[in-house]
A and B are shown apart, each in its own frame.
Chain A
């Protein structure tokens, strides 16, 4: 096999930032779907996460366009994608789909929190009071009828949100899947694979965020809630990995001209991130560990631990999957005769450190958001909200006096 890469392919064009983009949007879509499981499908065991999952989605959504923008050669022309969209391009939809989804998430969050916001506004003083008054947008009616309407609106928004989340992420898959020039990308399964792995990563992320936030708040995790996440994670992980394998098996069985290149890619160029991290750590081990996490003979502590470890592995596995698609695909030279080299950079544009910075941003945003809009809820059987919780450590007066 000759080794030849077209001279223009010496530099890999889409770097780590473009790996982050599908990763982050995937986390958004996944976290949102978890929140919808509660709000739309009434999975009451997920109640402790019903709000946390939504604002997690929101925090990641804020950051989603940043790696894309940072990657553009002409940052200040970014809005042309909305001013002069070229509609045969999958990428042209980004601005619209993103904005639509952002508005939807913001609206849903506002309706869910409206009662609390009004309550915080009436029980706080000074700047905080002004702040919550502004957040309430003047809608101060918290009569049972009004709250009932809120509730209905939330269900509707959450229901619209499910197909939107699927679209948001399926569309990201299409950006890659529709490139016929690239044998590792070009498959109609790509949007479905991206969507399923997005759901998987969102659930895994919530498991970890739930663990960390409970630990920071010195609260026990709600076991039924965790077990429910465990079950969803397992099912979606199975579906995602079956499709991923199907795609490779199909290519291998058909053995068209490009297969040699794809096989070489998986076994020689990215075996560590593909076979090791994505398939081994990210799929096989969690698929085995998760059922043990649900095994009632084991103690609650061990079951929690197994679920959390699986969550962490899955989260890393999905990141590796994004890497293997985005970078891996570009390593295959279009000469079908050699592989380009990917250079890891530490600090320069699209290097490891800026990437870690972008990855940590949503977590920073989230930790600020939970102070303003505390999302903590008890388990399915518990009280409606944790009574302890207040934003900015406001001392809550008894609700009755605050509502006058």
Chain B
């Protein structure tokens, strides 16, 4: 749980800030020199070398996931997501479906704290979740300052220097993939380890997965595993009716998964 460490002094300080900015607000009405947002920069930049010939894609094979949650822990450490708080760039859900089609879902600690249950489910499986890097991302659409943007190689990123922490994108993401970074106070979410993949490495969750349930690669490279699987296997995306056009595909996804 998030601790309440908000004191009266903090309140006075933030109240003063609010008052100050509130009084300045009308001044903002003066036509301001228009700066260029991160999104516009990304749109205007001619495709840099880094992006050429690349379209990253992610594929998860449900059958292979054993729910060890190695990925969840590794992700938190790699990306500076506080370990002791309920915020996750990726998490693993456990589904237990009994003979009457009753579904039980849980993800304690994002999957880090699964406990043995003394029920005998008819079927049981794990579903790792993360940002879908949607082609038609509502989080980009709603960001009022263009701090959320899409790179030329298909990853949705948040510019931490531009985000104003309004949390509109968190409301708009249908997958619960976003959260407010508890320390930085800006929106945060999975980047498919953009800092790693742009150097030719794998996202850390893919790297640590002991069973190869998580697959990552370049769709534009016809020999990559994701490209071949996407061509041959039957894949599904989450919530297709939302029109978000996810870029994360699942193999063997059950219909009870939302």
Q: Please tell me if B154 contacts chain A, counting CB pairs below 8 Å.
A: no
A336 to B257, CA, bound (A): 10
Given A73-B167, A81-B145, CB of A335 within 8 Å of CB of B176: yes
Which has the most chain B C-beta neighbours within 10 Å: A78, A85, A182, A351? Answer: A78
Give the A-B contact count at a CB cut-off of 8 A: 196
Neighbouring A residues of B168 by C-beta, 8 Å: 89, 91, 175
Asked if A181 and B105 make an inter-chain contact with CB atoms under 8 angstroms apart, the answer reads no
Name B residues whose Cβ lies closer than 8 Å to a Cβ of A.
Answer: 2, 4, 6, 8, 10-11, 14-15, 17-19, 21-22, 25-26, 28-29, 32-37, 39-40, 86-88, 91, 93, 102-107, 109-110, 129, 138, 140-146, 162-168, 170-180, 185-187, 242-243, 258
Neighbouring B residues of A335 by C-beta, 8 Å: 105, 176, 258
Asked if A102 and B32 make an inter-chain contact with CB atoms under 8 angstroms apart, the answer reads no
Given A66-B19, A84-B37, A89-B141, CB of A334 within 8 Å of CB of B185: no
Q: Which of A4-12, A117-125, A133-141, A221-229 sits within the interface? A: A4-12
Asked if A75 and B142 make an inter-chain contact with CB atoms under 8 angstroms apart, the answer reads no
From A7, A9, A14, A82, give the contact of B28 (CB < 8 A). Answer: A82
A78 to B25, CA, bound (A): 9
Q: Please tell me if A232 contacts chain B, counting CB pairs below 8 Å.
A: no
From A4, A8, A89, give the contact of B87 (CB < 8 A). Answer: A8
Asked if A9 and B176 make an inter-chain contact with CB atoms under 8 angstroms apart, the answer reads yes
- Residue of A with least CB distance to B92: A7
Asked if B178 and A180 make an inter-chain contact with CB atoms under 8 angstroms apart, the answer reads no
Given A7-B107, A11-B2, A84-B34, CB of A334 within 8 Å of CB of B164: no
Q: Please tell me if A80 contacts chain B, counting CB pairs below 8 Å.
A: yes
Q: Please tell me if A242 contacts chain B, counting CB pairs below 8 Å.
A: no
Q: Which of A43-51, A93-101, A243-251 sits within the interface? A: A93-101
Q: Chain A interface: which size bin?
A: 35 or more
Which has the most chain A C-beta neighbours within 10 Å: B26, B110, B177, B180? Answer: B26
Asked if A86 and B25 make an inter-chain contact with CB atoms under 8 angstroms apart, the answer reads no
Asked if A92 and B145 make an inter-chain contact with CB atoms under 8 angstroms apart, the answer reads yes
Q: Please tell me if A296 contacts chain B, counting CB pairs below 8 Å.
A: no
Neighbouring B residues of A347 by C-beta, 8 Å: 6, 8, 11
Instruction: Give the shortest distance, in Å, between A281 (CB) and chain B (any CB).
Output: 28
- Residue of A with least CB distance to B32: A83
Neighbouring B residues of A84 by C-beta, 8 Å: 34-37, 40, 145-146, 162
Q: Please tell me if A88 contacts chain B, counting CB pairs below 8 Å.
A: yes
- Residue of A with least CB distance to B180: A73
Q: Please tell me if A348 contacts chain B, counting CB pairs below 8 Å.
A: yes
Instruction: Give the shortest distance, in Å, between B121 (CB) and chain A (any CB).
Output: 12
A326 to B79, CA, bound (A): 31
Asked if A81 and B144 make an inter-chain contact with CB atoms under 8 angstroms apart, the answer reads yes
From A83, A86, A100, give the contact of B34 (CB < 8 A). Answer: A83
